[in-house]
Structure 1
């Protein structure tokens, strides 16, 4: 998928993870300034919806009890009506990167 998008795998992975519901931060590791620049490049593009869906499906593991209690479907049964679980808050904006 990364090749189809013309992006390094690390950028696609970081971009996808940073835009997943319920993830407020992504920790990246880099062993060189060039690798750090590559990772930070993940914040400069949007994954196409079909790519996001393919990654979501590929990473959706079967969740067995008792861990199924942490899934959005289970949580929606116990959370007050009108609230959602796992989505970023309204008005969420990606972080600004200070490269100075």
Structure 2
């Protein structure tokens, strides 16, 4: 499955636009991770526990988006984007979204 942030894929022709596709993940650190992160935030700098959580959430969101596109019959996703937000004080939502398409090599 090709996933690109552009509207077109060089060397490919879009044959069919199947529609909007997305993958969403909501994650939270456990109590131990939140306590560790709170102490790290006092000193400043990167909070590795949250960085790892968000990296994993992005990967999962992409995987879910790709699976949804595959289920629609797509072989590519164009205009792929991410969005994220906080849900409550301890959870993060990550959404990967784009347009599912069928492409063929030129």
Compute the TM-score of the two structures, normalised by the length of structure 2: 0.22
Question: If the length of structure 1 is used for normalisation, what is the TM-score?
Answer: 0.23
Q: Give the strand-richer structure, 1 or 2.
A: 2
Greater Rg over alpha carbons, structure? 2
